[in-house]
Amino acid sequence: MDMVKILTVLSLVIESLTKTVVLILNIALKPMQQWSEEEKKHIVTAILSVIITLGINLDIFILAGIPFQVPILGPLLTGLLFARGAGVVNDIIDIIYYTKINKRLKALK
């Protein structure tokens, strides 16, 4: 993947992860009895997403050609991205997909 695509993916990922972590921290710092149903849903979604991606070793960063030096970070961060919702994940997958298609088209020329 070329540098522009890597930077685009990373900027989307960092923005999304920042929002997710801030949301989780804001919820987690309150006493559990004060959590709204929506906040409980956010926490459960984040936990389940991370458990599933770790359990199946799903790493969207490997798909993007961005390996981590610490292998567990890929599935962990992928889980947090998935907790954010389908929109962010679809944007990242689209960038990865179209980058690979463009490489194949250039190779055919």
Domains of the chain, by residue range, sit at 3-28+38-108
**pLDDT value of residue 25:** 92
Question: Which tens digit of pLDDT belongs to each residue from 35-56?
Answer: 999 889 889 989 999 999 999 9
- pTM metric for this prediction: 0.71
Phi-psi region of 106 (alpha: psi -120 to 50; beta: other; left: phi over 0): alpha
Write down the pLDDT at residue 103.
76
pLDDT at 69: 94
How many Å apart are CA 17 and CA 108, to the nearest integer? Answer: 37
Most confident of 15-19, 55-59, 82-86, 104-108: 55-59
